[in-house]
Every structure is written in structure tokens, then in C-alpha cells.
Amino acid sequence: MNRFAGGMAFLLVAAWCGTAAADAVSRGAYLIRAAGCIGCHTDAKGGGPALAGGRALKTPFGIFYSPNITPHPKMGIGAWSDANFLAALGHGIRPDGSNYFPVFPYPSYTAMQSEDALAIKAYLFAQAPVARRNKAHDVPPPFSWRWTIRVWKWLFFKPGPWRDQADQDARWNRGAYLVHALAHCGECHTARNFLGAMKSSRFLAGTVDGPEGDLVANITPHQQTGIGDWSAADIVQVMRDGTKPDYDNVQGSMEDAIRDGLAYLTDDDLNAIAQYLRTVPAIENRVQRQPE
């Protein structure tokens, strides 16, 4: 190859890589909404910059503060490799080898495909770095001891990507993937045991102990206590703008999940979620506060 042809080939490869990278960033912009990362990693109440962390997350074990996930080299994740990022989202493992607390919903994100996780990383790394120091969690021992998470994981954590089911169509599988892996509906809509792990036998059946003490609705297709009488269009509507079939609006953490994420999803993806939800096991559970 002469020098000119070599130069052209180099430029073509560089241009192709540039397009591929831009493509990953725009896919990441969509996926980061689907996965609800922005709301949790932004201290909106305190007027903090997007993705720079510091949002307080109240749990029965104490208050956790989300970290800065902008690409700041010291205060954010700017020095992270792809492998660091995949270990965090897929396995709950920190760059130093210790464990993340499952308040970071990696028990759901583990079901994410690596290419989706890396598109989210590409998006994050295309944002401006923000110099904002992480705030230490306000969690008393023994729940503050990271080594205890090893035992927790051994008991409750099932790592690995979501696998499509061959006997279901592409739309159902897309819906299942969104519900389990990205949109992590179960993290709020599933009751937890005394160690804070989701009870898989109660998947999406609602709870009175949701985030911030919210009552979280039963969204299984149970006729009397779930959303069995909602049409697919009703389910799509609530994710789009929070309006329920009775014209009431959802509140609390569901409102946040919609504003920072679900509202941005395509009709195809919202329809896929609705189709999948109508096929999960119907579980009887009336979510209401016990009279005092």
C-alpha cells in the first residue's frame, strides 16, 4: 500500500470508529433513562448537578448517599476501565475488590447485556466532569460493614445477563429484559425480606415498605388487588405521564421514575413492558396501610 492509500485507510477506520463511538453515546443516552440512573445519582433536592451524586436514599438500614458518576478523574469515575464498570453494574464489585451495597440496584442490573452497560458508560464519559466529593453513608454497623455483603450476595445474588426465552416472541422478551434488567421495576414493586433482598415469590406484588416509606402498588395481573383490569394502553399511559385509568396521578418515587426515565421510552418499549407485565404470575396482595 502506498502512503496515500494507507492514509486514506487510516482516515476511514478513524471515521468508522468515530461513528461507532457516537452511536454508543446516543444509545447510552436512551438506556441511561430506561435504567433510571439519573434520578438516583442526582441530588435534585439539594440543587446538585446531574449525575454528580449526593442524593440521600433512606432505607431501613440507614441513609446511603449516591456517589458522583461523572467522568471526573478523582471525584467521579473518570479513571475507570470498561472492566471496572462491568464489574460494578454486573457484579456489585468495586475497583478495589470490595462490594457495593445492594441499595445500588445491581441485583437487577446484572441482567443487563454488556453492550448496553458499555453504551451507558460511553454516555457518562461524554458528559462534563463535575468536581463534587462523595458523601459518606450514614449507616450504623453492622450494616456499614462491606464484608458482610459477601454473605448477603452468597445468599441472595444471582449474577448473569437476562436470557431470552425461546417460546416467547421478541416483544415479550424485550419487555421482560426492560422490566428485569434496565427499568428494575422489581426493586420498588417487590417486597423485601429482613435483610433487604427482594422476595422472588412476591415479584411485582407491591409492598407497604417501598423507597422513602412509599406504598408501592401491586402491578401483577391479579384482578382484585393488582392491575388485572388495566389494558395494555392503560399501563403504557401511566409510564408515559403518570395518569392512571381513573385519571388520578401516581406519586412519590414512581413520579420520579417517570420524570427521569420511563417518560423518555419509545412506544415500542412501553408496549413491550405492558405486554410482559400482563403475563407475570398474578399474586393476591392488597397494598394498604394497616389501621393504627
Q: Which residues bind ligand HEC (CB under 6 A)?
A: 35-37, 40-41, 57, 64, 66-67, 69, 77, 88, 94, 100-101, 103-105, 109, 120, 179, 183-185, 187-189, 210-211, 214-217, 219, 227, 235, 238, 244, 250-254, 257, 262, 273, 277
CA 128/CA 41 separation, integer angstroms: 15
CA 222/CA 212 separation, integer angstroms: 25
Inter-residue contact 147 to 96 (CB < 8 Å): no
Q: Is 191 or 216 the residue whose CB approaches ligand HEC more closely? A: 216
| Rounded least distance, CB 276 to ligand HEC, Å | 9
Q: Is 111 or 235 the residue whose CB approaches ligand HEC more closely? A: 235
| Rounded least distance, CB 242 to ligand HEC, Å | 8
CA proximity to 126, closest of 25, 20, 50: 25
Inter-residue contact 112 to 90 (CB < 8 Å): yes
Q: Is 35 or 111 the residue whose CB approaches ligand HEC more closely? A: 35
CA 123/CA 102 separation, integer angstroms: 23
| List of residues 6+ apart from 212 with CB closer than 8 A | 58, 252, 253
Q: Is 10 or 145 the residue whose CB approaches ligand HEC more closely? A: 145
CA 126/CA 223 separation, integer angstroms: 46
Q: Is 3 or 289 the residue whose CB approaches ligand HEC more closely? A: 289
Q: In this structure, what C-alpha cell is assigned to residue 74?
A: 478523582
**What is the residue whose three cell numbers read 396482595?**
285
CA proximity to 79, closest of 59, 95, 66: 95
| Rounded least distance, CB 212 to ligand HEC, Å | 8
| Rounded least distance, CB 210 to ligand HEC, Å | 5
| Rounded least distance, CB 3 to ligand HEC, Å | 43
| Rounded least distance, CB 63 to ligand HEC, Å | 10
Q: Is 44 or 57 the residue whose CB approaches ligand HEC more closely? A: 57
Q: In this structure, what C-alpha cell is assigned to residue 224?
A: 382484585
